[in-house]
Structure 1
């Protein structure tokens, strides 16, 4: 036996709808159709714009490529000085038109081997005819000339010796050839100014 709902017992020809209900239903239907039309126009516009500027990458297995390091967080060193691309890597397999699989180096061994083509750039080797000495020229590091003047620029740390209970301070000089060294307060010119800066910096670090 199939149970019937109360509205099943009503005759449809006897049900009268209020005029405002019919008006609201018509307005709701028009709004829905207008929203669907706007969404369809938006999708069509985005697709046309993408098709005009999109070029299918022509990567092949065995090509040398570079991988963008935008999402790499495990590269050693300063993040601001890291290379924009890592490589050179070799394409091992193609996964459709939007992804490729590469052979990773030891430095990137914990990364997934598949990358989207948006993060891949083809590697172009050096032209030996245009730039013949790029690979052969030795790297020369310019020597740092010493100014001969040991001027203190900053006090880095403070320590207290256990033997004679004298406080020493690690100072840094303006000359890059001079190494940091520990000095007593009496040996530091304008010691009050540098110690005040040290205390101010230490207090700011504690509050943070």
Structure 2
């Protein structure tokens, strides 16, 4: 039993490729690696098939580059495209570590390609629109 868990640990450590290179090749199919401090009690010899090549990340190559992420397509109320015609569907996304419900909104003066995902508080007459959306979903669900 101990042997199997040791093999699994070696496989798990090897699959993460934390080392930039191996120390030395012992045989055709075995290498000795330099392990991180947290794995200092583990045996440093691994089968070659478990060791993946190490590639520097972009952060290592370009330390001054800003890590940018594109924000979700959310429209504030003042940026709205006019009054809301109907709410088409809803989704739940994670934004700044918290879940937020958003609604796909079609505007009265726009075509379907201008539909936008809006947070509940960004929908004009939100309570009225959401009540209608909930009622229409219950009706559709009951007919199935």
Q: What range is the shorter-chain TM-score in?
A: 0.3 to 0.5
> Could you state the TM-score of these two structures normalised by the residue count of structure 1?
0.27
> Could you state the TM-score of these two structures normalised by the residue count of structure 2?
0.39
Larger Rg: 1
Tell me which of the two structures has the higher relative contact order, counting C-alpha pairs closer than 8 angstroms and 6 or more residues apart. 2
